[in-house]
Structure 1
Amino acid sequence: MIHVILGPPTAGKSTHVREHAKPGDIRVDFDDIANLITGMDPANHTHDKYVSTVVRAARRTLISRLLEAPPDDRDVWIIHSSPGPTQLLEYEKAGAELTTIDPGKDVVMKRIKTERPAAMQAVAGKWYDTRTPKRSTTEKGLGWRHQQQRDRLLRAHKDGTPCWWCGKPMYRDKARNPDGRALAADHTKARATHGTRHLADRLLHSTCNSQRQAGDHDDQRPALKTPTTTSAGFKW
């Protein structure tokens, strides 16, 4: 699966990837590449014009290659703040999952003042100015409101509860989950068919959530085909 993470500066895109990607997954992050080739601190976000030009070219090549021949044994995570129409079309053709991380303009601007160069305020302002009211495939509604709901579900979660999709146990600690990822918030009533007003109402393994998609094949989910034995010896 190819995941493309969109959003303004300081939205939490890199944090999202760290929380959801598993060891061995491929990550394409502008800052990571720039800091690697210049030997700068990983937390650095300031790059001169020459480095920025080189990294943009390298990132284009990486993304193009990954879209043409995605790996079948690991996921790909691409941080791309604001891709253009042509790039979006390429992502869509490749079947990428696009997620927008946006805690809100006020939060972003406050973070930039304390964490990033002042020039990033203009970048963030442009990001918000160019957004359109219409919800597109790049805006799946998985923003700040969704993250808050996921946090509520996690607080109420009991470790070991079986995943509705695969039947295997779910844990807050992503290292204990079968896919090695953090749990994802899922909508019983798929947003694609029931609209975007519904909040997520359960947790699934991240991979199971991706496999479920719009829920068209819920009747074929693995949990219905493979009985799972609990610690008490019961099968369900």
Structure 2
Amino acid sequence: MLYVVTGPPAGGKTSWVEAHARPADIVIDLDRITRALAGPGAPQWNQDPVLLKVAHKARYAAMYAAFEVRDQTDVYLIHTMPSTKSLAQYTRLDAKVVAVDPGRDIVMQRIEAMRDPEMRRVATRWYSSRKKIAPAVRAGQTLDW
């Protein structure tokens, strides 16, 4: 089964996956990939453009390989803001899309405390785009896109 976990930055997507995935499952998370590729001592939330470019390419390679084995093990893909094209692909793959959102106020507080301030812009964009798609989203709800 393919699970696509979406939500704003600092919304709890990784925590949701950690609560549901088993050790043998595949987890594709850009933050984890970026940390794995970064040098020693790099900040946890590294936004270096060169590193992110490489991490994105690694993520796409992992996604396509994992899609091929989703009938053998569960695959958890964290995708903060999937495009319409991505959502159509996930639908063709019979994915369950899960939106994790503790609410805008909590997200903004978490970003202020733990993340790059640039993530405020990403969170604002996530909330604006989701109002059009799924106005009744609540934490952990499985959506039928």
Deviation at 1:72, TM superposition (A): 3.2
Q: Which residue of 2 aligns with 1:122?
A: 121
DSSP 3-state at the match of 2:3: strand
Confirm or deny that 1:86 pairs with 2:85. Answer: yes
Q: Within 5 Å, which residues of 2 pair with 1:30-45? A: 30-40=30-40, 44-45=44-45
The structure-2 alpha-carbon separation of the partners of 1:42 and 1:81, relative to structure 1 and needing over 3 Å to count, comes to: farther
Alignment coverage as a number of residue pairs: 143
1:160-183 CA-partner distances (Å, limit 9, x unpaired): xxxxxxxxxxxxxxxxxxxxxxxx
Q: Percent identity, please.
A: 32
Q: Is the 8 A contact 2:35 2:46 kept in 1?
A: no
1:109-137 CA-partner distances (Å, limit 9, x unpaired): 011000111111111111112223443xx
Q: Which amino acid aligns with 2:111?
A: I
Q: Which residue of 1 aligns with 2:24?
A: 24
1: distance between equivalents of 2:98 and 2:109?
A: 22
Q: Please, which runs of 5 or more residues in structure 1 have no aligned partner? A: 148-190, 193-236
2: distance between equivalents of 1:9 and 1:129?
A: 13
Structure having the higher helix fraction is 2
1:51-101 CA-partner distances (Å, limit 9, x unpaired): 11111112122212322x124332100000001111111111000110000
Give the TM-score of the pair, scaled to structure 1.
0.55
Q: Is the 8 A contact 1:7 1:100 kept in 2?
A: yes
Give the TM-score of the pair, scaled to structure 2.
0.87
Q: Is the 8 A contact 1:5 1:99 kept in 2?
A: yes
DSSP 3-state at the match of 1:132: helix
